[in-house]
Structure 1
Amino acid sequence: MSKIVILTGAGISAESGIETFRAETGLWAQHRVEDVATPEGFARDPALVVEFYNMRRQLAAEALPNAAHKALARLEEEHNGDVLVVTQNVDDLHERGGSKNLIHMHGALNSALCAVCQHRWDAPVTMQVGAACPSCGAQAARPDIVWFGEMPYQMDRIFDAISRADIFVAIGTSGNVYPAAGFVAEAARAGAQTLEINLERSAVGAQFDEAQLGPATQTVPAWVDSILRRD
């Protein structure tokens, strides 16, 4: 009964039409990261930041889960062991693909956060600047997104799962963003077998035991099939 921890990044959603952070076109290309993905940017121009995430939320809502998302959900359902997906993505394609045991370490587009009391609630498709928190009433709503300079969510739970994992897999990640880029080293120290599934080797690709390269919609279902055949 092997324990599998899977880290997913932008590459798994790219084939669903959701652009990556480093895309040369689209929303990210039109904005500086400092302006739309930092607490300082939100403090300077909350209207710009809220509108940016309104647009991202709309684009994500129009996307559909692809074969890679669905394969991971099938693995969770059919594997004779534990499967945890830790995603850096803020879209909900894993959930819509069927995954249930899931951590959004960088937050979620469909969630709103009160900057005063930390209450969370379902974000409307179009958030308003200064929207009131339904819990404390403060006009301090913000996108429930982990911005640069902020601590990712549920890190204790993630590191605990990695320390117990038999298999650690990173799918569609760049290996440039920490702490997620350090997960493979943690998994290796814990004795896990490590695998990278990506279009090309990531910045930390040399730290993995094995790599399978190609589009996620092809490589991920094939890997899931291989695991289920072993069960």
Structure 2
Amino acid sequence: MKLNAAAWMVALVVGSGSLVSGAVVTTSDQLEFVVGAGANLSVLVFDFNDGSSQSSFAWGYRWDGSASGEDMLAAVAGADANLTLDSSSFVGNVSYFDGATLHSAASDFGAGAVSWGYYLAGGFAGDDSMNNGNVDTPASILGGGVTYPTTFTISPTGASANSFGDSGRLLADGSWDVWSFGPYNPGTYAHEEPPGSEAPAAASVPEPASTGLFAFFLLCWSLRRKR
């Protein structure tokens, strides 16, 4: 059976967007998308709480020396083309395509009172005493480890850039950072549905099929034109 150019293009488009389905992450060794290099491993989770069958996703970040939550955010977002986020002053708008569903949520610190809350397990975080701008020396945060934590501590610096930068959040081997979207209390930044109830899925690594399909399409198109 011969395929015309339109059919080849359909095959290319269908194949190029495929992703490997991620399993639920109960331990950090089940992560699939891990960026960076080093002896230490921390985990980044985005929990969209959007009502879909799976709305929470996890990435791994390897590092040596010292690293902040901001370092992990930048490394993961820079490596995964399916994840986009605005984290200039706050983590405000996050989108992730899991291969079937586009998850997207944007903070509204006005009348909407919904935002990305920042929750921690393990590592260290400073306290700026209700946003007075003087971040204390980061103190140890409970939790962390290989197993997905069931309880988290809300970042003591709230939702500002201080909460995930090196002045407010320092990682440790086995630490977990969870950004959870939903309604919040404007006085405490605590969310109505803090993370911990839903284990995340491993963020998927795109299959390498798209490159091969594109080359195959070009070859077939070239041969067809020569006839």
TM-score class normalised by the smaller sequence: under 0.3
More helix per residue: 1
TM-score normalized by the length of structure 1: 0.25
More strand per residue: 2
Which has the higher relative contact order, 1 or 2, with Cα contacts under 8 A spaced 6 or more apart? 2
TM-score normalized by the length of structure 2: 0.26
